[in-house]
Structure 1
């Protein structure tokens, strides 16, 4: 093998440091979990250890002084130690997707394939956390964003008409309260309605208890399975399986009922789904969603009002309100990007452009309305 160039040595040493740091992140995350998730994370750490060994072999006695991992990986290690949350998994998902091994001749094909698969493994782990928090998180993000944009637009629109700052402040506070209450009530109704719709599609347990008393020859149970999406042949086969599993030893004496020894009420769903609220936990509860929407709308809507609360008026108040809201929009957009596995900067800039666009239109309308009144 040819003597490695100084550039290769620097790159290999950096890869070595990054692999060690990523393995440490996975071990830290595994330490905070149990069961299958812990085993998966430990296996990922072992895989990063194999990659570490590859770079050690290439470096030989030229490993040199230990290098620091890149800033991104060091930040992940800190977050893993402090929180161990879905945010870290989402960031690790992006880190695995950005692996340079596919374009580096010094890395093996297996290592490049490993990194690609690691990204999918981490995506699956992160998806569990996203599912658990998605209901409340959705209400929180929508509430904060709506509060920021709608109240900034309201404050700027009213301020552009030339009314005193006290009127702008009163309008902003009124918009905060009205919007927060509206968001909370709307989210409560939305989530409650969604749960009711899902409950309407859940198999009726009382209907399942009637199965042991059905006429086996007529076999109307097959109609249930056909109505739930199975083909005629599949429905007939499943119905026969259900009837075959029922205990009939007492049928000559009395009509068997669900709950008798050996007789159970079969699942009427074609895929064996339980049909409980736990199946839809990602929706969140109505009260959780309503409270999150109220609080986060209010926390967003108060930001455009802050300059007026401190006595500012005119352009200074407008500039400070717009600046504060812009920072908040960038933050919420970046958080959504991180949790969704997308590019945080792009999501942040998109959020900023949408918010500022809505506020600018309202401000221009306020100027036009003020000029008309004048």
Structure 2
């Protein structure tokens, strides 16, 4: 697509061009603000994105000519993104920026060039790549936090509503909720402890013996059995042969150098730390359904209050997952809410049935 060649742009075009100009300026500012909180390669990439937005800004300035008008504010979502970037600069802001780039209208606008539309597509992928780095850095902790808290929310809400529907007294409901909190949190902690400890033991069993390195300098260079080590770890025979010869050559030229025989596994956390985190995350979620009963509410009022509190928490966790994943936050939030309330509705119905039958 090429820019319109009309000598007299319409008022609608002028308004649209001014809006685009304001948005480009705001987006360039967002990338500069994000760059100010980064260093090294990430900072350079963000500054390059800011320069690209400046080129797009110049395109609209050229089209507007003497009708640029006074500076305008960008779209509210872009300005909000800039405010967040200046104060936080986290992976969540990059995820929001990724969504903003995906909404570019240039492909359908005859006044934008094909190059500009292509730039916006590439910008989305660049920001996606930057956000992926942050996602990888916090994925383990974030996953444990979200799933632990969500499990606590859903399981204890279902438990409290199911027991409450039977018509038992408030103290029994409260005791059941506290018991469910402790049982679930302890179960999560125990499971995480065993999982991490078992993973560490498996990795230790898979690690080669460190004393192996002392034997490497005495290997027959022609037989080169070191290549078998690398082949056993998945290398092709050709690559294994080349790497083993490089290692042996290094030993001949630098006898005190380290031998690249042992590959380090990815570091995993301690079993105790994982267990404590799981306990806390689950307990924090499981506490919310019983709060109304702790503060003295009873009957239908307590059930409604518990459902509202948990519903808001489910919406929040779903929205956070959506933001981090680059997906639509509202859709993820509603999905989380429906899943949680669906589980609670089943146990509530069973509680009503048991209560009605006198069980």
TM bin, normalised by shorter chain, reads over 0.9
Q: Hey, what's the Cα distance between the residues in 2 that align with 1:19 and 1:220? A: 60
- SS of residue matched to 2:357: helix
Task: Give the Cα–Cα distance (whole angstroms) in 1 for the partners of residues 81 and 334 of structure 2.
Answer: 23
Q: Which residue of 2 aligns with 1:254?
A: none
Give the alignment partner of residue 294 of structure 2, picking from 297, 300, 309. Answer: 309
Match of 2:345 in 1: 360
- Equivalences for 1:1-374 in 2 at 5 Å? 1-2=5-6, 3-247=8-252, 262-268=255-261, 274-276=263-265, 279-280=266-267, 284-373=269-358
What is the root-mean-square deviation of aligned Cα atoms in Å?
2.0
Post-superposition CA distance 1:37-63 (Å, at most 9, x none):
111111111111111111111111111
User: Alignment length, in residue pairs?
Assistant: 354
**Aligned-pair CA distance for 1:358:** 0.7
1:257-311: CA deviation from partner (whole Å, max 9, x where unpaired): xxxx624343236xxxx515xx44xx55544433332222222111111111222
Which whole-Å CA distance do the structure 2 matches of 1:288 and 1:47 have between them? 44
Residues 1:192 and 1:12: Cα distance change in structure 2 (over 3 Å): farther
Residue segments in structure 2 that go unaligned for 5+ positions in a row: none
Higher mean C-alpha deviation, range 72-81 or range 290-299: 290-299
Q: Give the C-alpha shift of residue 192 in structure 1.
A: 3.5
TM-score (norm 2): 0.92
Deviations 1:207-254 (A, max 9, x none): 233211123343221211221122233333333333333318xxxxxx
More deviation, 224-233/15-24:
224-233
Whole-angstrom CA distance in 2 between matches of 1:200 and 1:338: 39
Question: Do the aligned partners of residues 290 and 22 (structure 1) sit closer, same or farther apart at CA in structure 2, a change above 3 Å counting?
Answer: farther
Q: CA deviation at 1:77?
A: 1.0
Residue by residue over 1:179-226, the C-alpha shift from the partner in whole angstroms, topping out at 9 and shown as x without a partner, is 222222322332333344344444543223321112334322121122
Give the conservation status (yes or no) of the 8 Å contact 2:250–2:257: no
Cα distance in 2 for residues equivalent to 1:292 and 1:106: 53
CA contact (8 A) 1:28 1:80 kept: yes
Check conservation: 1:211, 1:265, Cα contact below 8 A: no
Cα distance in 1, alignment partners of residues 75 and 201 from structure 2: 49
Distance 2:113 2:194 in 1: 55
Superposition deviation, residue 20 in structure 1:
0.9
